[in-house]
Amino acid sequence: MADLAIGPGYARFILRGGPDAVAVSGPALGFDLPQEPCRAARGENYHALWLGPDEWLVLAPLDQAEILAAALETAMGGNPHAVVEVTARQIAFILTGEDAAEVLNVGCPLDLDIAAFPVGMCTRTILAKAEIVLWRINKATFHLEVWRSFSAYVREILLTGGAREI
């Protein structure tokens, strides 16, 4: 069985920058940005998901959006970068349970076996015809970032795949 729930309300930022921007972002986040492809990093309040060689999705509690944006801008100084808030664009789903990977595989072509897609891994992929960002939080829990315009569609795919809404 797999349970489907709306994820926590996060402020979301796309952070883009080269090595110099990466080097100075750590103090603002409280941890270093993940440099290994398709990996996530977590701090006390924030999370960062590697989306590309110079791109991360940064998640923060809603009440800390302005604080984080200001801290990142200050930390970046004159380094070329972009910090773009995309909070309104996306919604999170949390899929949990021993069958979560099987439910996702109804529409996701990735091998989600724990050996192939370990805890902490994240990537852009598709679920049926919708682009998602998929992050494995623990062995039986996946965090899906979905554009709001596709959220009803993604929800239906997951329910069709055997998820139970909680």
| pLDDT band at residue 18 using 50, 70 and 90 as cut-offs | very high
**Residue range 142-159: average pLDDT?**
98
| Residue 52, helix vs strand vs coil | strand
Q: Is residue 59 packed enough to be buried (19+ CB in 10 Å), middle (13-18) or exposed (0-12)?
A: buried
The reply to whether 96 and 161 lie within a common domain is yes
The tens digit of pLDDT for each residue in 122-137 reads 999 999 999 999 999 9
The reply to whether 82 and 104 lie within a common domain is no
Average pLDDT of every residue of the chain:
96
**Residue range 23-42: average pLDDT?**
95
The reply to whether 50 and 97 lie within a common domain is no
The tens digit of pLDDT for each residue in 53-100 reads 999 999 999 999 999 999 999 999 999 999 999 999 999 999 999 999
Domain that holds residue 126: 89-165
Domain assignment of residue 1, yes or no: no
The reply to whether 100 and 71 lie within a common domain is no
CATH code of residue 55: 3.30.70.1520
The reply to whether 160 and 101 lie within a common domain is yes
